Amino acid sequence: MIEKKTNVYLFSYYHDKSWWALEIPGYSEQDALERLKKLPLARYDGVLGGTIYVNSENKILIRMMKYLSNFFIGFLNLFNKNYINIPNDSNNLQNRREKADEKNER
């Protein structure tokens, strides 16, 4: 697989009496501008805890770090009720009773 090289394009905006910078990766300036247009659709993922810089020649280490981070995030999502659909047994039981009553009425 051939990897395309991306550049980091800088944008600035004024907010709260200060200028702020924003970095957008992209394959070209046009690509970065297209990505910038999609920011209103962005979701909040959390606060960046840190950055680890790795030599890109050591691809095995990069793959291992990606695997471990994805595993860890997936493991944490097991305990987050927003990601797990746990049926409420009382509602489920009530639904079953209502369906049984409808069948009996027929």
| Per-residue pLDDT band at 82 (split at 50, 70, 90) | low
Q: Which of the listed ranges 44-48, 91-95, 98-102 does the model predict with the highest average pLDDT?
A: 44-48
Check whether 105 has a pLDDT greater than 70: no
Q: Model-level pTM?
A: 0.47
Name the percent of the chain lying above pLDDT 70. Answer: 68
pLDDT tens digits, residue range 42-55?
Answer: 888 888 777 767 66
What residues contact 21, with CB distance under 8 A and at least 6 apart? 10, 11, 12
Name the DSSP class of 55: -
> Which residue's structure tokens are 């079953």?
96
pLDDT of 30 > 50? The answer is yes
CA dihedral (45, 49, 39, 17) positive or negative: positive
Residue 86 scores a pLDDT above 50:
no
Question: pLDDT tier at 84 (50, 70, 90 boundaries)?
Answer: very low
Average pLDDT for the chain: 78
Q: What are the sequence ranges of the domains in the chain? A: 7-105
